[in-house]
A and B are shown apart, each in its own frame.
Chain A
Amino acid sequence: GDSVTQMEGPVTLSEEAFLTINCTYTATGYPSLFWYVQYPGEGLQLLLKATKADDKGSNKGFEATYRKETTSFHLEKGSVQVSDSAVYFCALSAKGYQKVTFGTGTKLQVIP
């Protein structure tokens, strides 16, 4: 079945550092790929998405590129802020099928 693998956290970075959170997936066909963010005590918010190969999703300085050849969707940000501290979930959804498969989540802590 479909699965998503994320790098384990927590990831601790200093403010303005470069962020990469790795995500790889296994799925049949061409799923849609997502990054969701969860701030402490809150639900999930969609951060960005990509629906086909080579698409780049971007939002709030974060970006991720749908790489079919490596089945990856790594999240990057050039300069993190303390307010980016949260748990980030990589996820996929098969086309035409609304059920979402989540990775285990990666906690990011940004220190001043």
Chain B
Amino acid sequence: GAVVSQHPSWVICKSGTSVKIECRSLDFQATTMFWYRQFPKQSLMLMATSNEGSKATYEQGVEKDKFLINHASLTLSTLTVTSAHPEDSSFYICSAPEGGSDTQYFGPGTRLTVL
């Protein structure tokens, strides 16, 4: 099946710094990708929809200026957590549908810890 990768798999940063997380579709093109965050022992919360060549669509309550999304190519979307704070510590997961499929393929996730 389709493969989605994320980098880095984990990152530790100091409060106030910015962190960039990459999401790549390895063997297919994705005009749309999705970014989720997952708190311990909880379900995935959709943060935003990343659209290639246009602005991302953010879910209600998600700060677009804090979570910057760039979908620069058909195989790469990036999520930048700006001025990170400890409450931003979480597991961030991206996904992408292959072609017109309604099946999402998920990346392995990135664990962010902000000290």
Contacts and interface: CB of A to CB of B under 8 A. Distances in A.
Interface string B94-112: 0101000011111111010
B43 A32 contact: no
A104 interface: yes
A95 B109 CA distance: 26
B1 A99 contact: no
A22 to B, nearest CB: 16
A105 B104 contact: no
Interface in B60-115: 93, 95, 97, 102-109, 111
Interface of B is mostly: strand
Contacts of A103: 43
A100 B111 CA distance: 21
B109 A42 contact: yes
Contacts, number: 53
B25 interface: no
A34 B97 CA distance: 13
Interface residues of A, number: 24
B54 interface: no
30 contacts: A32-B102, A32-B103, A36-B106, A41-B109, A41-B111, A43-B93, A43-B106, A43-B107, A43-B108, A43-B109, A44-B93, A44-B106, A46-B104, A46-B106, A51-B102, A89-B43, A89-B44, A93-B102, A96-B102, A98-B32, A98-B97, A98-B102, A98-B104, A99-B34, A99-B46, A100-B95, A102-B43, A104-B42, A105-B42, A105-B43
